[in-house]
Chains A and B, each alone.
Chain A
Amino acid sequence: MKVLADETQIATLMDRLAKEFGAEVEASDAPWAIVGIRSRGDVLAQRLARRVKVEYSGNVDIALYRDDLSEVGPQPIVRTTEIDFPIDGVNILLVDDVLMTGRSVRAAIQSLIDFGRPRKIKLMVLVDRGGRELPIAPDYVGQRVNTEPDQLVEVRITPTDPDDEIVMFKRPRKAEGRP
C-alpha cells in the first residue's frame, strides 16, 4: 500500500481547492450550492462549505441512478438524498473523492436534474486517477495520479474513517469496491 497524501497534504489540497473555488463564487452573481456525492464526497463537501460560504448545501446518493444495477452483485445500500433547496437557476458544485470512470458523476448529474434545472453544474474531485469511460472532465482537481486498472485509489476521511489519507494499493483478489 502506498500513501499518496497524508493529513497535512490533504489539508493543503483542500486549501488550494477552497481558494480556487472561492474565487469563482466571488466573481459570480448567481447563488451557489455545494453538493457532495455519498459516501465520501459528502464529507469533503461539508469541509469545503465551512471554508467557502455559499447559499446552499446538500448531498446526493447515486445508488438508484447507477447504470450497472443488474450487472453486479447485490443492490447497493441506499442512503438519503438531501436537496432541500430550489435547484432552478442555482450554480452547483458537485464534490466527490475519487474520479475514475465518470459513471458516478453521470449518475449524480442525472439525479440533480431530476430535482429541477440548475444554472450550471461544476465538478470538484480530490483525486483524478484517470480511466474515464464517459466524456466527463473535472473543473477542480486536488491531485492527479497515474494508475493501472488493477490498482485501487481510496480517499479516507474523518469521521467516516479513522484518519485522513489518500492511499493506493493493488486490488485484492476478492475486491470490496465502493458503490
Chain B
Amino acid sequence: MTAAASKYVWSHKHLLGLEHLTAEDIRFILQTARGFEGVSTRSVKKVPALRGKVVVNLFFEPSTRTKSSFYLAASRLSADTLDFSASGSSLSKGETVVDTARNIEAMGVDVIVVRHKQSGVPQLLAESVACSVVNAGDGAHEHPTQALLDMYTMGQRLNRPDFDFSGLNVAIVGDIAHSRVARSNIHGLQKLGANVLLVGPPTLVPRTFEALGCEVHHDLDAVLSRIDVANMLRVQFERITSQAFPSVREYATVFGLSAPRLAKMKKDVLVMHPGPINRGLEIESAVADGPNSAILQQVANGLAVRMAVLFLVHGAQYMNAEGENDE
C-alpha cells in the first residue's frame, strides 16, 4: 500500500445519507466499487468477502429493483440474506419499527438494509441496534446508494476516473420536492464539485432549494444548452397528494426529455433516470433507449456500488483502536 493510499481509513459503520460524508468518503466508496465491478462478469459471480455474515432487507415500502440489487449484492459477497417485508409481518400487529429491528438483530444479523416511508427511520435504527444500518431510502430524505450509483455512472461515462466533477452542470429534472434521490444527489454532487441545476414546475421545485446552493429553474428549455448530465426523475404519482401540476400531458410537454429537446443539448450529454421510467412522461422512449442514455448502465453499476457499501460498513464494525492490518 502506498503511503498516500494508507492515510485514508473508512470509518463509517452505517450509511444513512450523503449529507454527512466528506468528498473523500464518497470517492473512497466509488473507487472501492470499481474493484467489485468485475465480479459480475466472472464464471463464479461471487467473492468470499462477507462469507458467514447475514444481511437483512427490511423494507417497509414496496421496492423491486433496490431490494433485488441489495439482495444480489449481498449474495455476491457470499453473505446470507433474509427478506423481511412489512406486509404480513407483526408490524401489522402493532409492533414498533425499533422492536422489529431489535428482534431481527437478535437472530444474529450483521447488516440491516432499511427502507421506510418516514424520514429518519434508518437513523433511529442505527441508534437502537448494534449492527450496521444502510439506508435504502427514507421518506423524502435520502437514498444514498442511488446517488452513489448515479455518480459512479457519471465518472465512468464522462471519463472522470478520479470522480472530480468540477465544471460539470448536472440538471435534476422533475419532482424535486418529493424526491430523496434528488436530495442525496444534491449533497453528493456538490461535494464532488459539480454545479447542480434543479428544474421543474414551481410546485415541485420550490425556490427554497436555492438555500442548498443549487440553481432553481422552472423553464427546461432555457437551460438545455448548458447541461452536461440530465437526471430525469420519475413523477411520483403515489407521493403527490395535492394537484401539483395541471395534467400529465402538460408535464410531458413542458418538462419531458423529448428527441427535439435532446437535439438542442450538448452532443455528448448524459441522460440518466433512477427508474422505473414512465415512458412518454418524463422521458421519451427514443431518448431512454438512445446512445446518450445510461439508464441500464446505472442498474448494473448499482450492484457494484451496493457491494462496496455492504463491504465497507461491515468492515468498519471491526475496526480496532490501532487500525492495525497485519500481513
**A binding-site residues for B, Cβ under 8 Å:** 39, 61, 63-65, 68-82, 100-101, 104, 110-111, 113-116, 160, 174-179
A63 CA / B325 CA spacing, docked (Å): 12
Is the contact region of chain B dominated by helix, strand, or loop, or is it mixed? loop
* Minimal beta-carbon separation of A96 from chain B (angstroms): 12
User: Is A73's CB under 8 angstroms from B318's CB?
Assistant: yes
A89 CA / B24 CA spacing, docked (Å): 42
A116 CA / B43 CA spacing, docked (Å): 6
Q: Can you list 26 A-B contacts (CB < 8 A)?
A: A63-B49, A64-B35, A64-B39, A64-B48, A65-B49, A73-B318, A74-B9, A74-B10, A74-B11, A75-B311, A75-B314, A75-B315, A75-B316, A76-B325, A77-B1, A77-B5, A78-B36, A79-B35, A100-B327, A111-B47, A115-B44, A160-B2, A176-B1, A176-B6, A177-B324, A178-B1
A115 CA / B44 CA spacing, docked (Å): 6
List B contacts of A79 (CB < 8 A): 35
User: Is A174's CB under 8 angstroms from B322's CB?
Assistant: yes
Closest 8 pairs between A and B when the two form their complex, measured CB to CB: A75-B315, A78-B35, A114-B44, A64-B47, A64-B49, A73-B325, A177-B326, A177-B327
Question: In which size bucket is the chain B interface?
Answer: 35 or more
A63 CA / B33 CA spacing, docked (Å): 13
* Minimal beta-carbon separation of A165 from chain B (angstroms): 16
Given contacts A69-B49, A75-B312, A177-B324, 9 further A-B contacts (CB under 8 A): A64-B48, A64-B311, A65-B47, A73-B319, A74-B11, A75-B314, A78-B35, A80-B37, A175-B324
**Which of B39, B308, B316 touches A74 (beta carbons < 8 Å)?**
B316
* Minimal beta-carbon separation of B312 from chain A (angstroms): 6
**Which of A71, A78, A116, A178 touches B308 (beta carbons < 8 Å)?**
A78
Interface flags for B10-44 (1: CB within 8 Å of A; 0: not) read 11000000000000000000001011111100111
